[in-house]
Chain A
């Protein structure tokens, strides 16, 4: 990447997402060629209701500089309200990250429909830009 952040820092980011709208939005971004930074990897879950505080914390523990979750729009979850439960857990994980000094702003959740390829790309950009400013994950092993 040419667009380097603080001290040339390039974050490693994990994106959790469901196999319905989230994966579909990623696919649509691909089909329509909406580009976004390449340092984001997608971990697919059957629903964002499957997101677990432990998974989010494990991602940080393993070295991710930022984590975000991509879900169906609220009210439009394939599993009716799995994304709402997921949202609650993301909020809980944010509080834990704040408490342990990693910082809750390294974690976020985005809601989008499967047709919103541009929105998917924008979410990736937003997270990469934000985490670049925040610098590397303090718990990352050197």
Chain B
């Protein structure tokens, strides 16, 4: 509930509706707001800058997929790529009805408790009323003040009247009205819609909310503080963010990589890692820099032929899905060179502006090397407002200044009802921030379970609306087409190029046109009213709007005609602004002709339009969770606590999974307490049904209505007992396992153990540990033939166990043989701690792998595996390894050898993937819909993924992932009705010959041949495309040899426009 603010359109604000404030409008904040809104909870998204998008909006490409597809951030259809937003739900005219966006707003104070917080906000003046801004840009044209453009990391300039980015949310200009403005007020005077008011002042408001989610992100380290690199003094030393803009296709050079000093393409580029990370003032790892530097170097290699790329890093931390393969590609295919050291300083050649890097190489040699451009991979720091925010909200920060959270409640702050997600919790990448965001939304759904769906919304229309917002539609099926053509001059932003009078006059003469009108601003309330009135007054049943971009305004006009009781799909737009007037400024005659042609085609298409309807289904309010480990139990509890039924399936006798093998964590928490707590809550929960010793043997149906067959092994019964479960959604939480191979005598010699076995020994036989004299730990052990990837948890586990050994037995020598130490985020401190306690680290490479041997009683060397069992007492264990600094071979004789083996997917993952019809990654883990933007969704709607089934991860990461999947489940189960279909492909089965072309063509493997349906020529078997699954791309339609498939709203006759020859011919003007 809001006092004082002139807030946006929210008709259904009542006391009953839950309201949550999300602080921070980057990807994490936006994701959290969408999930809350979809669950029928109102979200107020508060962003301190004047536009949404945060850091991610500035990135051109994401590793490791090199895609820009923020458009796949949600499964929403239609003008998807909405950078800086991640979903059409943030486009101004299609803003989710449960989301309010307040930009330029900061928190002043907060008080209260979970369920009842009062937050005082201050909204800084924007000086532009976004609803009246038409983006004509006049204000910027007349503005005399020039400032660096923040969105382009200062590489270009902007005026004081400016738009943050070409596509911004809110989609409007802003005036940076500062002391450098000489009060000329030219912007205010020239604004044709009077949207600018320089007298606007800051306004304060008290907002009552039930909960708060903090998604305030991070800030970048200021590299000026590292004077040795000369940033700010040497022109060719740039930050990674500046490089991102250079490499971005939407950046100032459209992706051409050039040197700032002379604009030339660089020949030799260096990346310096850990600038502001892993040092005395930042004793943590920023987690993302190794990967983004790899991406940036690859982009350089792709864009600049022959460029030499060198990355200076201490370790290469490629610890997520598909990252190892990416790094391998960088090395082998792109020949990017990785050098393991820190550069101590840079010097500039004043004439060429080239840079000289000084460093001590891994072999101890002092080196000097020339580069013509250097990129500083700057680290992540807590956001600037962290301290103030902590004070205002009463939350605790950790010693690094990030938000403090508990290991087993990673998204909760110490203040009940205040949650955290994204980089404010710890440095992390996009995918993890998105997982956190949905997870935080799940925590809120659990807190406010009685208020879920109090603000119902509907996806019945192509835009998002309130449920039951509109009057019934007028039935126009039997009416001849009567078109209304509305031409917008956008003030004169269109009409100064296109003759809108000529256009309106020619539109009037087109077939079926009942009315052609010319309006100054169609998008303003008065323009919208004109359209609604004309539809009623003239019996219009098809509408053509000739105005601006479909992308920004189609949903607005769809809504307008729906308000006038026409089906929203009876609208056709012609883009005569961005697509005509603004790109043919110097060719008014040509522009007018083109506008006439666009309107002619739009009218022809409008005549062919038919209403489009979706089907509403009631989702079965129950979810299936496969896997009863920490992830499955956490997800089950979150869904059940939010008010929905859960069926939890576990293959083993007992719940708990890997948690049974973990006795302590590196942070000092007790996982066994978590295990007991989870099991007690799951077993006691009246909405959770647990099936142990059970497996999924069949899984059919679609989102909202799945049907699964379980097989339960009952002791003494000859056959498994089958049960049928009907459910609306599925969560895959089948976990992973520590691989027990035979490498380095594991499983053959009792002196060789795995990490889990070492942990058992530390906990249950500390006396054995106390007797040890030398322990060797080998990292990154994988069975030959297994795919290579980082198992993420082993380095930290090694630090944990090595430190424990040193605590129990300080005299014991502990040597860790490693390739890269991957203790990302705050885990870096445990690496530091292990070294402080005297643990020794020796690096090996694939070429210098350690060799483990046994010596028999005669002193002869034996290859491992060569000795018969039982002879171990007479042999000694020996590890040979190449020491890289001394460049000589060391022979270590440990009395305990620990091998850190890979974490692999659980047995049976492959079979389950087939049953669920979902894909696996190259490493054998389940493959989500999108590596970055949809880490908890499968491409298949209604099926979600969490925990180690996705990739190896820590307990806290599995918990966050489980919560994220739970949130996504609640957003579906709470939709009543759940709308499916709409613009989807439909098969005319009487034409189908069952040739399977569509099944092969579909990018999503959705068409299936139904053998029970009669196809063409009375032959059994015809294609069927599930409208609940179809993504509406139409790829199948273009290849169907029988033209049996048509895409709704893009039927052949609607595209080919034969009568008017609208596809190829042009008006003769």
Contacts and interface: CB of A to CB of B under 8 A. Distances in A.
A86 B65 CA distance: 21
Given A31-B166, A35-B584, A114-B250, A81 B79 contact: no
Interface stretch (B104-112, B524-532, B572-580, B827-835): B572-580
B1038 A121 contact: no
Contacts of A104: none
Given A43-B1055, A55-B1055, A12 B1050 contact: no
Contacts of B669: none
B594 interface: yes
Given A29-B578, A60-B1064, A38 B1035 contact: no
Contacts of A98: none
B166 A32 contact: yes
B192 interface: no
Contacts of B593: 38
Interface string B1028-1042: 000111110111000
B249 interface: yes
Given A20-B71, A51-B1038, A75 B79 contact: no
Contacts of A70: none
Contacts of B1064: 12, 14, 58-64, 67
Contacts of A67: 1064
Contacts of A77: 1003
B83 to A, nearest CB: 7
Interface string B593-622: 110011001000000000000000000000
Interface in A12-31: 12, 14, 19-21, 23-24, 26-31
Given A28-B250, A38-B580, A115-B250, A58 B1035 contact: no
Contacts of B250: 28, 113-116
B81 A33 contact: no
Contacts of B1056: 54-55, 58
A86 B575 CA distance: 24
B1033 A50 contact: yes
Interface string A102-124: 00000000001111111101000
Interface string A62-84: 11100100001101111111100
Nearest to A30: B578
Interface string B794-805: 000000000000
B362 interface: no
Interface in B69-108: 69, 71-72, 77-81, 83
Contacts of A53: 1038
Contacts of B1035: 47, 49-50, 79, 82, 85-86
Contacts of A51: 1038
Contacts of B56: none
A43 B78 contact: no
A56 to B, nearest CB: 9
Nearest to B1062: A62
Contacts of A58: 1056, 1058, 1063-1064
A134 interface: no
A35 B67 contact: no
A126 interface: no
Contacts of A52: 1037-1038, 1052
Interface in B1016-1069: 1031-1035, 1037-1039, 1047, 1050, 1052, 1055-1056, 1058, 1061-1066
Contacts of A121: 583
Contact of B583 (A14, A36, A49, A115): A36
B907 interface: no
Contact of B1063 (A44, A55, A79): A55
A9 to B, nearest CB: 13
A1 interface: yes
A30 B1055 CA distance: 24
A82 to B, nearest CB: 5
Contacts of A50: 1033-1035, 1037-1038, 1047, 1050
A1 B588 CA distance: 9
B1065 A78 contact: no
A39 B594 contact: yes
Nearest to A137: B1064
B586 interface: yes
A14 B594 CA distance: 11
A37 interface: yes
Contact of B78 (A19, A73, A89): A19
B587 interface: yes
B156 to A, nearest CB: 12
Nearest to A1: B590
A95 interface: no
Contacts of B66: 75-76
B79 A19 contact: yes
Given A12-B1066, A37-B584, A113-B249, 15 more contacts: A1-B590, A19-B80, A20-B71, A38-B594, A41-B1066, A49-B1003, A52-B1037, A54-B1056, A58-B1058, A58-B1063, A63-B1064, A79-B1031, A86-B1038, A116-B250, A117-B166
Interface of A: 1, 12, 14, 19-21, 23-24, 26-47, 49-55, 58-64, 67, 72-73, 75-82, 85-86, 89, 112-119, 121
28 contacts: A12-B1064, A24-B551, A27-B167, A27-B551, A28-B250, A31-B166, A31-B578, A33-B582, A35-B584, A35-B586, A36-B583, A37-B584, A38-B580, A38-B594, A47-B1035, A50-B1047, A50-B1050, A51-B1038, A55-B1056, A62-B1063, A63-B1066, A73-B68, A79-B1035, A82-B1035, A113-B250, A115-B68, A115-B166, A115-B250
8 shortest A-B CB distances, which residue pairs?
A115-B250, A30-B578, A62-B1064, A49-B1035, A38-B590, A50-B1034, A64-B1064, A47-B1033
Interface of B: 60, 65-69, 71-72, 77-81, 83, 135, 166-167, 248-251, 254-255, 549-551, 575, 577-580, 582-587, 590-591, 593-594, 597-598, 601, 983, 1001, 1003-1004, 1031-1035, 1037-1039, 1047, 1050, 1052, 1055-1056, 1058, 1061-1066
